[in-house]
Amino acid sequence: MDRRGRILAVFFIMGLGFALVVLRLVYLQVFEQSRLAARAERQQEQVVTLEPKRGTIYDRRGRELAVSLDVDSVYGIPSKIDDPGELAQRLSRILREDPRRIERKLAGDKHFVWLSRKVDPAKAAKVKELDSEDIRLRSETRRFYPKKALAGPVIGFTGMDNQGLEGIERVYDKMLRGVNGWVLAEKDARGRMVFPGGPGFQFKLPKQGNDIILTIDEVVQHIAEKELDAALASSRAKGGVCIVMNPRTGEVLALSVRTNGHGRQAFNPNEPQFYKPAEWRNRAVTDAFEPGSIFKPFLAAAALEERVVHPLERFDCSAGKIQVADRVIKDAHENGVLTFSDVIAQSSNVGTIKVALRLGKDRFYKYITAFGFGRKTGVDLPGEISGLLRDSRMWSGVSIGSVAIGQEVGVTPMQMAAAYCALANGGTLMRPYMVSEIVDHGGETGRKFGPQPVGRVVSEETSAQVNRMLQRVVELGTGQQAKPAGYSAAGKTGTAQKIDQRTGGYSKNDYVSSFVGFTPASSPKL
């Protein structure tokens, strides 16, 4: 090809290239215009989430137990920072955090990184004093518990993004959290968010979370915790539970849990990071234990309801032991001839088992389940278990005697409290509950919760008979230290041996000690 031909070939190829470019531009601007415009708009826009204010948790008299307050969070703009190392050192002294971690966050070309979320006001003020365009503050809400450790395992706590993680905060998270809002922002050439004004401004305001009113009474809760702490200190126990309920309604007025032993600070939901999960777990519903003698009144109620025994019937307990199948069960203290009322008052294993053998395992099992054992109570707390109760068809020959005195059965403290409420209120099992009302802030009608009967367990006559027997426990029997000044009371003591993990048998040194009762005895309120 001569020179002229080569020049023409070059011009032809160049012209063809320009033609293709023109055709592509025409295609993009005519046929793809709508799609590309929308894509460009999306690249320039960003939806910013507006966090709602979490609802407040109150006690039954309107006292605040959990509130949300506006605090500052610290963020940085790494793309604008020239010396992240030097800035990280300054920030670490203010935030009291690892400077290497801060430096890693500030290095790079991102337009936004969180440095420290929901900091104390004093730290936020010092960050402001830096007067840096690259380190800024953004307002967020933070959960505070003004009563500190009061009812900590009951109320629970929230995570950094205000989601409920434990306790009431977790069970009612959806209602407390509210609904997120949003605002449509634009990005400038440097990637910074700009909020345009005018009629085209698009947004949706967040909906505040609902408030919750508990059945808990702050004063009763404080007394329960104070008394439980005193009991732990005097007995040097590893932990304990104290529950106060209204027997006629099932309202939980106080629920105190100590799972960290004598001398350890009670769980404070303001600082959950300083505690182990075992220390915030609500063992009133998550843990089962063998109840021991506090289980005997349910045998008494069943036997009286079935009319297989009379309260004044006499039993010879002088031997202090009884053979049940291949096992010999003894009394803690030798007793002579006792009425059935005194069998309960003196907590005689022998007398209790004699009545249980007369009642029979199938009828006894029917009443145990009717009192709510072996299934969840339905209380509005997370992690509740059913306890341990084998079907009577699986009982061994000794089981009738063991179960009658509170062995071979695992109960939760909440199950036990609810069952005693049935003994106290005339024979009706009530579902325990923690929340009395949900208050809506969006104009909708809130919800109120009231007593929920589960079913009648025994007659009012039987309930009254057991009541009188349990009064004798407090007046003349093993529970005399539980008698309150100025009031009548009824109740039952229990001392159950714990299982020795090494031998698999009952320990001779480790016990679960319990008392369950109600007052005033004639018309129980607690």
DSSP string of 12-49, one letter each residue = HHHHHHHHHHHHHHHIIIIISHHHHHHHHHHHHEEEEE
Relative to beta strand 327-330, strand 337-339 is unpaired
Whose tokens are 């025409």? That residue is 26
The phi and psi torsions of 283 (rounded to 5 degrees) equal: -70, -5
Strand partners, 161: none
Distance, in Å, from the CA atom of 395 to the CA atom of 389, rounded to the nearest integer, reads: 10
pLDDT at position 465, please? 97
Six-digit token pair at 449?
């919760």
pLDDT at position 243, please? 98
pLDDT at position 351, please? 95
Residue 406 zone, left/alpha/beta (φ > 0; ψ -120 to 50; rest):
left
Per-residue HEC secondary structure of 500-518 comes to CCCCCCEEEEEEEEEEEEE
Burial class (CB in 10 A: 0-12, 13-18, 19+), 40: exposed
Measured in residues, the chain has a length of 526
371 close to 386: Cβ distance less than 8 angstroms: no
**Residues marked as catalytic:** 293
pLDDT in tens, the chain (526 residues): 567 777 777 777 787 777 777 777 666 676 666 665 555 555 555 666 778 889 999 999 999 999 999 888 888 888 888 788 888 888 888 888 888 888 788 887 787 888 888 888 888 888 888 888 888 888 888 899 999 999 999 999 999 888 999 999 999 999 999 888 777 766 555 555 555 555 556 767 778 899 999 999 999 999 999 999 999 999 899 999 999 999 999 999 999 999 866 556 789 999 999 898 888 899 999 999 999 999 999 999 999 999 999 999 999 987 888 999 989 999 888 888 999 999 999 999 999 999 999 999 999 999 999 999 999 999 999 999 999 999 999 999 999 999 999 999 999 999 999 999 999 999 999 999 999 999 987 666 689 999 999 999 999 999 999 999 999 999 998 899 998 899 999 999 999 888 888 888 888 889 999 999 999 998 999 9
pLDDT at position 120, please? 85
Reference 352, options 367, 366, 335, 374; nearest CA is 335
Reference 52, options 65, 72, 68, 73; nearest CA is 68
Whose tokens are 């909708």? That residue is 444
pLDDT at position 40, please? 52
Report the amino acid identity of residue 107. Answer: A
pTM: 0.84
pLDDT at position 31, please? 64
pLDDT at position 401, please? 95
Reference 91, options 129, 61, 46, 148; nearest CA is 129
Within a 10 A sphere around the Cβ of 199, how many other Cβ atoms?
4
